[in-house]
Amino acid sequence: MADWREALRAKGYRLTPQRELILGAVDELGHATPDEVLAHVQQHASTVNSSTVYRTLEVLEELGLVRHAHLSDRAPTYHSTRGEEHFHLVCRSCRKVVSVPAEEANAFLSALSRQHAFTPDVGHLTVFGRCHDCEETS
């Protein structure tokens, strides 16, 4: 975890146990809302409150250590940037979330660039629909 510690210091932020707990929670949970991060962190440190979680997630995103996507109509969902870049498929029926490697969208992204002179941020891309299991049961 030395890389994120260096990023915090380089931007003038102090390294705090709360920041370490929050980043660890995002890593462990995979995709989590601020409230889910708070619940996870409070298992280890009951002194962390929701405003600390929200502020810390903003700082961590500014530093490029986490990013958010909108996987529902609720709060944004955060995930670590340590893994490969990906976008999300969300089933509207069962709410299952699938992370898809960014390169699987290359043809679509190339078409957007070519036809619209536009380069999307694929890490914020979320495609809503119905998974195969839910299609089979309807």
Residue-wise pLDDT tens for the chain (138 aa)? Answer: 457 777 778 888 887 888 889 998 999 998 899 999 999 999 887 788 999 999 999 999 988 889 998 888 778 999 888 888 899 999 999 999 999 999 999 999 999 999 999 988 888 889 999 999 998 887
Q: How many CA atoms lie within 13 A of 130 on its CB side?
A: 8
Please tell me whether residues 69 and 90 are part of one structural domain: no
DSSP helix/strand/coil, 77: strand
Q: Give Cβ neighbours of residue 59 (< 8 Å, ≥ 6 apart).
A: 8, 13, 19
Quote the pLDDT of residue 2.
54
Quote the pLDDT of residue 29.
93
Please tell me whether residues 76 and 101 are part of one structural domain: no
Residue ending a domain, choose from 63, 80, 97 = 80
Please tell me whether residues 73 and 111 are part of one structural domain: no
Quote the pLDDT of residue 26.
93
Q: What is the CATH number of the domain that holds 53?
A: 1.10.10.10
